[in-house]
Amino acid sequence: MLARTPLGEASAFVTLLTPELGILRARAQSVRRPGAKLAASLATLAESSVVLVRGREGWRLAGAILEENWFKKLRNAPSRRRAARIAGLLLRLVAGEENDPALFRVVRGFFQALSELDEPEQELAEVLADLRIISALGLDAGIVPGEASAYAPSLLASVAGDRMAYVRRINQGIEASGL
């Protein structure tokens, strides 16, 4: 769950990152009512198993079961801010729906790394996640180290050596997006 926007009195428009369909937006009815069953499963930065129905007007969320609440699992405010920045980058760069399952592996691996790594390594993991997102969206043609979901300390040590070059590539990718 990347974002949730109010829709009418009790519903919401949710932006999901799925392993099969990539980024999509769906309508969740009555999720904002007191005691709504789906509310906990649709919290921002929650990982949930969802049931989606494709209709005439787009996707509709028919059910959800919470798998992992990353907001709670992340130990401190800096970790949560890093997770929010990565989600925000995706929301900025993808205007509509993006059918790229690699984005899910990048983000899920990054959230897992944030829950395990120390602060200095988290900063390097964020740089690597930014670069992987830029690359997956076709805004960078350079080589990206490691697999999409890998954030091992040894890999992050190699990122530390080339950090400035990676940041430059990220900035060029964002600039190429027109944002």
AA letter at 149: S
Q: H/E/C letters for each residue in 31-61? A: CCCCCCCCCHHHCCCEEEEEEEEEECCEEEE
pLDDT in tens, 18-66: 998 889 999 998 888 888 888 888 888 999 999 999 989 899 999 999 9
Domains of the chain, by residue range, sit at 3-70, 74-177
The helix or strand, by DSSP H or E, that contains position 91, with its residue range, turns out to be: helix 77-93
Pick the CATH number of 3-70 from 2.10.109.10, 2.40.110.10, 2.40.400.10, 2.40.50.140: 2.40.50.140
Q: Give the single-character DSSP code of 98.
A: B
Q: Give the pLDDT confidence score for residue 104 in this predicted structure.
A: 92
Q: Residue 33 is encoded by which pair of tokens? A: 């009512």
State if pTM tops 0.85. Answer: yes
